[in-house]
């Protein structure tokens, strides 16, 4: 994947400290070495969250590509960070994002970006989907951002769908807050344990209104499940409101076979990793 000339690496990556938990995955998935701040090198910037990211961006005098991750785009609308959008427009760079919602938001700030959903995890996850009359739904949340990730919607849906089990990863300690018994809080667990637990579920659910291409959606489709996202993606289920979401969840009972679009998405995610070439 790495471009070479006379035996030397010609392209590097720079990962924002705001998404440092993805740094190792980015390096492994792309095969790119980390940038050593040589201003003459060509660099792919992953995430543009804060002033240090933009200073590095300005320091680089080589070919620049920017991969926008989600909330870094929202930062462009804050009065203190409007300068960031101006910097990005003035500097010549090729921009990438993960869905049309992000693309439209960037366009408002004069930044044109290509849509390229990407997954830095294990694309070779096995197809493990099994039909169930009592579907299991899984999603991830972050503490202090529970409303953004859909805690209210889960509280409502779990009461309308008592035969469904909703597995929430990333937070814990909510069991005493009058949630139905079919809502299970798993807390933070190692990724390998997560992958082992979710392989027998039927749906990965993402309720964020503005988001990058979530690992929840990626892993769910690669396992052959039927992921559901608030944000629209080709060949995947999306929803408009909570009533529409309930209807989509009810459809899970009719899905006897693994998701027929798994193969298409697997090939797409493999190809999309080469976006910088």
Residues 144 and 180 in one domain: yes
- Length in residues, the chain: 277
Tally of domains in the chain: 2
Residue 128 belongs to a domain:
no
Residue 161 belongs to a domain:
yes
Residue 143 belongs to a domain:
yes
Give the closest residue to 116 by CA, choosing from 14, 269, 277, 267. 269
Structure tokens at 203: 């749906």
Give the closest residue to 109 by CA, choosing from 75, 139, 137. 75
Domain boundary among 116, 149, 165: 116
pLDDT of residue 174: 73
SS (H, E, C) 177-206: CCCCCCEEEEECCCHHHHHHHHCCCCEEEE
Which structural domain, as residue segments, surrounds residue 26? 4-116
pLDDT of residue 34: 97
- Rounded Cα distance between 15 and 45, Å, is 6
Residues 144 and 239 in one domain: yes
Residues 247 and 159 in one domain: yes
Residues 184 and 236 in one domain: yes
Residues 154 and 243 in one domain: yes
Residues 89 and 142 in one domain: no
Residues 14 and 77 in one domain: yes
pLDDT by 10s per residue, the chain, length 277: 444 443 455 899 999 999 999 999 999 999 999 999 999 999 999 999 998 999 999 999 999 999 999 889 988 877 555 677 777 777 789 999 999 999 999 999 889 999 999 999 999 999 999 999 999 999 999 988 999 999 999 999 999 999 999 999 999 877 657 899 999 999 999 999 999 999 999 999 999 999 999 999 999 999 999 999 999 999 999 999 999 999 999 999 999 999 999 999 999 999 999 998 8
Residue 123 belongs to a domain:
no
The bridge status of strand 165-169 relative to strand 136-140 is parallel
Quote the distance between the C-alpha of residue 190 and its chain's center.
18
Look up the pTM and report it: 0.90
Structure tokens at 49: 């969250």
Structure tokens at 139: 């999603």
Residue 269 belongs to a domain:
no
Residues 78 and 150 in one domain: no
Residues 229 and 141 in one domain: yes
Give the closest residue to 210 by CA, choosing from 150, 163, 139. 150
Residue 277 belongs to a domain:
no
- Rounded Cα distance between 204 and 59, Å, is 40
Residues 249 and 140 in one domain: yes
Residue 57 per-residue DSSP state:
H
Rg for the chain (alpha carbons), in Å?
20
Q: Which residues have a Cβ under 8 Å from the Cβ of 183 and sit 6 or more positions away?
A: 154, 155, 158, 165, 166, 168, 174
pLDDT of residue 1: 40
Domain CATH for 172: 3.40.50.2000
Residue 129 belongs to a domain:
no
Give the closest residue to 239 by CA, choosing from 262, 205, 195. 205
Residues 26 and 69 in one domain: yes
Which runs of consecutive H residues, i.e. helices, occur in 121-187?
151-160
């Amino acid at each position: 994947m790495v471009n070479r000339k006379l035996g030397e690496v010609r392209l590097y990556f720079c990962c924002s400290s705001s998404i440092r938990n993805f740094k190792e995955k980015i390096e492994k998935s792309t095969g790119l070495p980390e940038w050593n701040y040589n201003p003459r090198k060509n660099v792919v910037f992953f995430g543009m969250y804060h002033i240090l990211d933009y200073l590095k961006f300005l320091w680089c005098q080589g070919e620049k590509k920017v991969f926008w991750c989600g909330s870094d785009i929202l930062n462009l609308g804050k009065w203190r960070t409007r300068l960031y959008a101006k910097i990005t427009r003035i500097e010549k760079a090729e921009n990438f994002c993960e869905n049309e919602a992000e693309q439209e938001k960037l366009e408002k700030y004069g930044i044109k970006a290509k849509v390229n959903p990407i997954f830095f995890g294990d694309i070779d996850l096995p197809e493990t989907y099994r039909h169930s009359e009592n579907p299991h739904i899984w999603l991830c949340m972050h503490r202090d951002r529970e409303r953004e990730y859909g805690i209210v919607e889960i509280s409502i849906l779990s009461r309308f769908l008592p035969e469904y089990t909703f597995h929430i990863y990333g937070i814990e300690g909510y069991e005493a807050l009058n949630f139905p018994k079919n809502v299970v809080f798993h807390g933070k667990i190692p990724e390998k344990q997560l992958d082992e637990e979710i392989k027998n579920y039927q749906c990965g659910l993402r309720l964020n209104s503005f988001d990058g291409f979530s690992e929840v959606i990626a892993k769910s489709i690669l396992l052959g499940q039927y992921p559901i996202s608030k944000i629209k993606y080709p060949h995947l289920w999306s929803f408009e409101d909570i009533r529409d979401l309930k209807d989509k969840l009810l459809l899970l009972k009719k899905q006897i076979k693994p998701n027929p679009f798994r193969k298409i998405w697997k090939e797409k995610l493999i190809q999309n990793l080469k976006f910088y070439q």
